[in-house]
Structure 1
């Protein structure tokens, strides 16, 4: 799995550097206060996007904390970015509980969740990965009562045109992300 994530990361970086163009971002999901949303709900804004789930013990809290901290470190430029955390566990996450979860890390954070089909589409659009397992073996919806979630752990920056601007690997940290984003914003 780590090798596959590494290869995906390299591919995304190659896509980002102009060798091959990534398709613009599209999604249709749900947010606690706004209801149904798409990538067009935040015109003129950059989107900083991470994926995960609310019961994740380690990777997801770090990802959301890094996203919120990056926005804060950007100062005025941070107001031009909408930070979004998308659930890959729609069986357990609701718009309300993902909203509470992300707001713990930062008041500007938005949590989005969709159906199994919507989740699959947005993660595919991001070129991310996710899935479910039980006792080390893959399981598929309808899911058993107990299962584990796995997913890629990249943070994606999309421009106002919804084209991919940059991809940050897990552990990049808010200092490096803020510096890179600041340099790339017009």
Structure 2
């Protein structure tokens, strides 16, 4: 993580008027973990970043925002912000600019991996497009198996997650509006 990201986490905590202890309670992380993240001593996992962004009520990639976006932004492939799970089984790279009203992510999910341990919901609308491989979308009580070129559009208030029960990596793009907190 960059020093700017660490400063952003500390800045958001202070803006919310939260102590390290209070943020730890909201995130179910230890005070030591929060302190280590803010000081750059540890590289937080995707789950840790999700817990922090949820506690602040901001989209995950908002933790990486450094300043207000320009009216037109070009995001070069090799300059995208990336977040991965602890074992690298899922990698998200932000295609859209930070701070916009639409979040577009490109993702790769390894065989046998899931986007989160349990289905999650958030106040957004979401559309996923499979680029290669096959992807399972679990939404509510239903399961949708998608092949390359297939898409699935849903209300993100329905608890959901992405699963790859197949033997090849699945690559997909997901668009979320407004960006999920």
> For this structure pair, what is the TM-score category when the shorter chain's length is used for normalisation?
under 0.3
Structure with greater helix percent? 1
- TM-score normalised according to structure 1 size: 0.24
By relative contact order (CA 8 Å, sep 6+), the higher-ranking structure is 1
